Every structure is written in structure tokens, then in C-alpha cells.
Amino acid sequence: MVTPSTFLKASYKASKEFFRPPAEERTPEAPAAPHVQPVMVPIRSMGPSHGERIAKHLLALSDHDRYLRFGYSANDEQIRRYVDGLNFDRDEIFGIYNRKLELIAMAHLAHSTDPNLKSCAEFGVSVLAQARGRGYGSRLFDRAVMHARNNGVDMMFIHALSENTAMLNIARKAGATIERDGSESEAYLKLPPADLDSRMTEMVEEQIAQTDYRLKVQAKQFWDALAVIQEVRRGVRDGRDRMPM
């Protein structure tokens, strides 16, 4: 459970880290550095104002990644239609941002529209290639499970291609039952009812994520402004150097 002391420590650490120059993201071809699992990954609930970032994230997926995420090779137009059709009032969208405010991982918890299946929801996730190997998919799944429990969902479904082993492994580790039907698989996980711990944990984690995002916004504004100042200074210096003596 995330305690208030954990929140304060995370906020203090974040305030120190975010105002360092942002490092470049590792490319998919570059070897991954030794990774230590972080204590906490801030995961933010997203609303309609994040639509463009969601679209940018999904459009950055490779053809194969789009195939695994949607079950077909979605083109750009189909992805934009998917984003335009997101129902932020009914469903929940979760995201993980890097220090450049790029959405590097996101999950969609879609609640059932069938009146007879109101206590069911479906989970889908995508992680950019350069951000894999850090457990983001599992973290997003855990966050979605907690939110689903707190909103009366008692059964979570994951519909995935059988070759999407990463997604199925996440479900399997959570204790989901997986049924395979040819090229497709269906995983379902029975959720326990909400309790005080799950409600308090979600509330604190969301507060941490909101604070994390605000710090990232401030840090990005700072470094963008500094870059403009440095560019102006560079232009003045170059102009002075070209002046005839």
C-alpha cells in the first residue's frame, strides 16, 4: 500500500530529479542498461484533453505492435477513429509519461455496455518499444485492477492474439484463467470486492501521479525556456564573431 510517507518521499525525490537536463530515450536498437525496479511508477488517469497525446502514442507503434494491440494491422485513420471514439465518461484511460511529457505507455479499461454485464470490463495496453522491459505493462494492469475493483467490477477480460505472449503473461501472473481458441486467446480474472486498502491506495497513487505530472510540466517548461535563451545567446555570439574588426 502507498502510505503518506511514501508519497512525500516520492514527491521530494521527483522535485530533485525532474529539474536535471532530460536524458535522451534509449532507442530500440540500443542495449538496455541494468534495470532496478522502481518503488513506484506514477500512473495518471487521462481525460479528453489528452486525446492528441494518446493518438501520438498509438501512431508511434510499429505495424506489428498495432497488430498485437488491436488484433489487426490498424492504419493511421483507424487509430484516429479509435481515439475519437474513446468514452472518457464510461471508461478509464491510464498513462505513464516520461520527463519529456511523451506518453510511453497507456492502458484502456473499457466497461461493458451490456446491461447484463455491468460488472465486467476489458483491459488493453500498449508500451512504446523504447520503454519496454521496465514492467510498465504489469504496473498498468495492477492499476486497472485496483480501479475496476473500486468501481464494482468483479470480472476483468483480456482479449488478445495467442502470439501476444507479453500480455498473456501479465494476465497469467495475476492469476487469470486463459482459454485459447486458435489464433486468439481470452483471459478472465475474478476480482475481489473493494476494501478500505484498495480505495485509499488508489486515492494516494492518483495524487502522486498528478503531482508527478505537474512537476514534469514545470520541468519541461523550464528546459524549453532555457533552450530558447541559449539559442538567442548563441545567435548573438555568432553575429558578434562575424562582425568586421
- Spatial CB neighbours of 119, under 8 Å, sequence gap ≥ 6: 112, 152, 153, 154, 155
Q: How many CB atoms lie within 10 A of CB 46?
A: 22
Size of the chain in residues? 245
pLDDT range class, residue 24, cuts 50, 70, 90: very low
The three-class DSSP label of residue 142 is: helix
Helix axes 51-59, 76-84, angle to 10 degrees: 150
Question: In this predicted model, what pLDDT tens digit does every residue of 89-115 receive, in sequence order?
Answer: 999 999 999 988 899 999 999 999 888
CATH topology classification for 39-240: Aminopeptidase (3.40.630)
- Strands (E) in 112-217, as ranges, are 120-127, 155-161, 177-181, 184-190
Determine the longest span between alpha carbons in the chain, in angstroms.
Answer: 84
Give residue 167's identity as a one-letter amino acid code. Answer: M
Residue scoring higher pLDDT (22 or 201): 201
Residue scoring higher pLDDT (117 or 59): 59
Question: In this predicted model, what pLDDT tens digit does every residue of 113-143 receive, in sequence order?
Answer: 888 888 999 999 999 999 999 999 999 999 9
pLDDT range class, residue 216, cuts 50, 70, 90: confident
> Residues 210, 43: contact at Cβ < 8 Å?
no
